[in-house]
Every structure is written in structure tokens, then in C-alpha cells.
Structure 1
Amino acid sequence: MHPKSTGPDAGPIRADEAEVLPPDERFDALTSGLIEGVRSRDDLAGLVLLGSASDAGEYRRDEWSDHDFFVLTHAGRGEEARADLGWLPDRHRVVLIAREGAIGFVAMYDDGHVFEFALAEPPELAGAVAGDASVVVDSADVTARLVAAGQQEAAARDAFDPVNDTNLLLVKIFLGMGRTRRGEVVNGGQFVRFHAVTHLVRAIRALHPGAEPGSRDRIDPTRRFEQDYPEWAAEIADALDRPVADAARSLFDLAVRILRPGWDEFPDRAADAIRRRLAW
């Protein structure tokens, strides 16, 4: 089902005006358009700007920043609202809209600007996590409470467990190598390039604290990793440029070199077992 268009005159931003706006002004204009669009609809109850779109994250904004946000509907009107995205600003400049799951959307404009958002009734967003967030529309008086709960959940997830993450890192490398040697290179690559790297980053952040939680992304620990650990980030990036099997071995060696010194809880027996089984 494709969301309806409201025609070439939809949205509060004229195309001939938007095309000449500098990036920061274009971003602000789209934000204003979002607020106006949500307020114009009787089925929409709230708008929450997330990440660099929020007031707290504005200092991180650059030419590659997109708009992340939640839009809340009134109770019982979620499906109706998801069927019509005519409230999006500058609607006639949207070149694609795709669904991500039951309540998620992504939209791209002809200048490459991207919207990533969830459009849901409040119960559908129960358990959602939120870092930097600005509540800009809250007509049903539930949006702020939902965001507060999401930020508490994000803070809880931000507590890293280096032992568990290191154990998972080793297991993901081992499983990825097994799949790769079996010939399942695409699937094996997911274990190595995504899962193993995520747990390595989490373990590093736990044992070698970088930025304080106030400036660190509480949802995705890989965000802004280069700012906190430039040398290690460069080594991880170099490893990921290699074929899967070489990447796995490089990440394994990096993990041992970075995490093991001075840490009595490093899982040496597990690392030795992996070396033996993989003939490393």
C-alpha cells in the first residue's frame, strides 16, 4: 500500500525556495514543515525529533544528517494515519517512500535528504528507546511521558558488560568463520562485520571509557566511535576492508591486543579454543 500524495502543491515548503536554501536552513525549514504538517492533521497527536534533529543533538548536525523522529497518532487511528503521508513537508519532492516493519518508514527527497520515522499509536511504541529527543507536538499529553520512558530504557542499555560482550564477540567471530568456510560467505560476513564488531566496540567502551554518556550515542555504540578511539577505529575499519576470513582473524587479534592486557577476566580459554579449532 502506497501512502497517498496530496498533489504538487502539498507541504509548507515551495520547491523553488527549498532548492536554494543552504543545508542548515533547509534542515530547519523541513523541521518547521514537519511540525506544521503534524499539527494540521486530526489523526496525529505528537511529534518527537530524535538524534541530530533534536535540540540537544543540533551541535552534531552536518550535511549528511537526516531527520529521525516519532509521530504519534490518536488511539485507534494508527492504520489510518499510516495509509496517508500527505502531511510530509515538500511532499512533491519525495522520490521514494519505503516501509520498515509494521510502523517504520523511510522517505527520501530529490536533494538526498532522508526522513526515518516511526508512525504509531502510543502502545505500539512501548519499549522504544530514545536518546537525544525534543517533544515538539504533544496534543494528547502522552508523548512526553513516552519519550521519558524511552530515554530511561536507553540509559539502561548503555550499561555495558565487558565479559558478556567479549564472550559474544568471540562466538560471533567463530560462527562467522564456520559459515564462511562452509561457503556461506554472505551470512558469515554478517556475523563478522556486524555482530562481532558491535560487541568489540561495546567491550572497548566498557574497559576504556571514551566520551561521557551525555555525548555518546546511547542506542548505537558504534556511532562516533572514531571520535573517541581514532587509532582503534582505523584498525577496525582496515580489518573490515579485507575478505571475511581475513577480517575475522584481524578482529580476533585486535580484540586480544586491546582487551586482554591488565584484564583478569579476559576469556583466555575460549580464545585458545577458537585458535585451535580454526588452526590460527
Structure 2
Amino acid sequence: MRKERLLRRLDEIGLSLERTQGALLLLGLGSVGNELDRLDEFSDLDFFVIVKPGYKTRFLELLDWISASHPIDYAFKNSRDGFKILFSDGIYGEFAVFEEQELENISYSEGRIVWKKSSFDDSKIPSSQVQKSNIHEVSLDFCINEALTNLYVGLCRYARGEKLSALRFIEGHAINSILKVLHLLEKEVAYYPDAFANERRLEKRFPRFAVKLEHMLQGYNRVPESANVILEYIESVHPINKQMCNEVRKLIKLCLQI
């Protein structure tokens, strides 16, 4: 079972760190952290490695400490702090390395200690370090009007032939604006909300809205149709300016004729 393999691999990384000078802590995150109940066959590894001051560069430049757990076929340095990797047996993972003093300045959801050096002080680990972003907005009026104007701008771009930009404004920005206040429009089911990506597990958290999504996200060649469904939705959940609504409808009609 992949779930067991993931947890075993993380334990193996911990054993490798035990043998590597400078390592202090291995922190499992997400579904291999404190959310083990949602670990499934499609999960991957997500973890932080905490090291002593002065050792960060060594752990980022030499990946022997991780390949010692299992050979890796792919390693992509996707940030100044970490990598995305693929082990030779198909297990995928993402990790970041931080020095001990950086702990208080990094954002993450609560993690699970997989391994730690016996001398490391547990009290230095924040239980959770999530810097609140604008994933959830409190202003319904602001976000709905933002979505409305996203539709307008996107349709104007579609009309001039900028279909990709139109897609991003309508099926991207407008939907994101709605997601920020969806908790004010529909009762949210408590199922592991992600503080950094509001679309995660949306189908379980907002099942009534989820069934509408396929009509809001019809793709590159049906952007006006998507815009029409989104407009009808925002009209149904919040009062919007009629003139602006009419202008958007005119643009939808125009774009459908292109």
C-alpha cells in the first residue's frame, strides 16, 4: 500500500538524518503530518528539515542525506529553501530546509515530529505558524463585485481575441474571488481546510457549490458560456449593480457570436 510506503519512507529519511551531522528535526506536514486521516493512494511527501545554524547550504547542495533513504531520479530546486523530488520507486515529495533560528519566521500548518535529535528542545517548534492571507475574505460585497469586474475584463479580452487571458480572468480570477467568500454563502463542511490554497478539498468542503463548477469551468473554447453561468450564480447570491450586469451580458452575447 502506498500509504504505508510513504510513512515508511519518511521514517527512513529520519534515520538518515540521525546519521547526518547538523540535522535537528524532521517535521511531517499535511497528509503525512497531523492530517494522517486523509492520507491516501494519491498523497505525497511534504516535510521540513530543521538544521543547526550554518548547515542549511550543505543540506541543499548535497542531497546525500535523502538519497540514502532511497535513490532519487529527479530533483528540482523550486525555491531558495527546498526541492521537489521523485524517488526511483515513484514516490514524489516536496521539502524545505531551515536553520533553527528561521523557525519563528516561516509559515506552515501544524506538523508532526517524525524524528528529532535528542538534544533538540521541542518548545522551539511553534504548534502552528500560519500567516493569515486573503484566502477567506469577510467582505462579501467586495469579492462579488471583484468577480463581476473580472468577468467584464475577461470578456473584453476574449472579444479582442485574447482567449487565454480571458480564460484566466473568468475561470481563474472570478472563481477565486467567489471562493474567498464561499464560507459566507454556503455552510462549510469541516474537512481539512488549507490555509494556503482555498481550492484544496473544495468538493468535500462545499458540495453544493462543487456541482456547479463544471458549468463555470467549460474551458478555452467556451469561456463566454462559463462567464454566463458565473454571472447567474453571483446574481443569485448577492445584489449587484444592474447596469454593470447588463454590460457583462452584452459582452457575453457578443463573444458568443465570435
Query: What is the TM-score when the length of structure 1 is the normalising length?
Result: 0.74
| 1:233 to partner: Cα distance | 0.8
Of residues 234, 238, 262 in structure 1, which corresponds to 2:215?
238
Displacement of 1:191 after TM fit? 2.8
Are the structure 2 counterparts of residues 92 and 138 from structure 1 closer, same or farther at C-alpha, using a change threshold of 3 Å? closer
CA distance in 1, matches of 2:122, 2:151: 41
Contact 1:99-1:106 within 8 A present in 2 as well: yes
Q: Which residue of 2 aligns with 1:120?
A: 98
Any idea what the Cα deviations from partners look like across 1:190-212, whole Å, max 9, x if unmatched? Answer: 33333322221221123323123
Contact 2:70 2:88 survives alignment (8 Å):
no
Among residues 170, 185, 195, which one is paired with 1:218 in the alignment? 195
Q: CA offsets per residue over residues 39-61 of structure 1, 9 Å max, x none? A: 3222333222111011x311111
1:59 equivalent to 2:37? Answer yes
Whether the 8 Å CA contact 1:45–1:73 is kept in 2: the answer is yes
Deviation per residue, 1:141-176 (Å, 9 max, x gap) = 57764543514x35x766532334323333333333
Structure 2 matches for 1:23-172, cutoff 5 A? 23-54=2-33, 56-88=34-66, 93-122=71-100, 127-139=105-117, 141=120, 145=124, 147-151=126-130, 153-154=131-132, 159-161=136-138, 162-172=140-150
Deviations 1:101-151 (A, max 9, x none): 222311123443210122233565655332242133454857764543514
Supply the RMSD in Å over aligned alpha carbons. Answer: 3.0
Q: Is the 8 A contact 1:72 1:119 kept in 2?
A: yes
Change (3 A) 1:190 1:98: farther
Cα distance in 1 for residues equivalent to 2:134 and 2:21? 35
Q: Kindly tell me the number of residue pairs found equivalent between the two proteins.
A: 247
**Which amino acid counterpart does residue 244 of structure 2 have in structure 1?**
A
* 1:82 Cα offset (Å): 0.8
Q: Which residue number corresponds to residue 19 of structure 1?
A: none
Pair 1:80–1:90, CA change in 2 (3 A): closer
Which one-letter code corresponds to 1:170 in the other structure?
L
Aligned to 2:158: 180
Secondary structure, in 3 states, of the residue corresponding to 1:112?
coil
Q: Secondary structure at the match of 1:188?
A: helix
Structure 2, gaps ≥5 residues long: 253-258
For the 8 Å contact 1:131–1:219, the answer to whether it is kept is: no
**Could you state the TM-score of these two structures normalised by the residue count of structure 2?**
0.80
Residue among 234, 244, 251 paired with 1:255: 234
Q: Given the alignment, which residue of 195, 202, 206 partners 2:180?
A: 202
Question: What 5-or-longer segments of structure 1 have no aligned partner?
Answer: 1-21, 261-265
Percent identical among aligned pairs is: 20
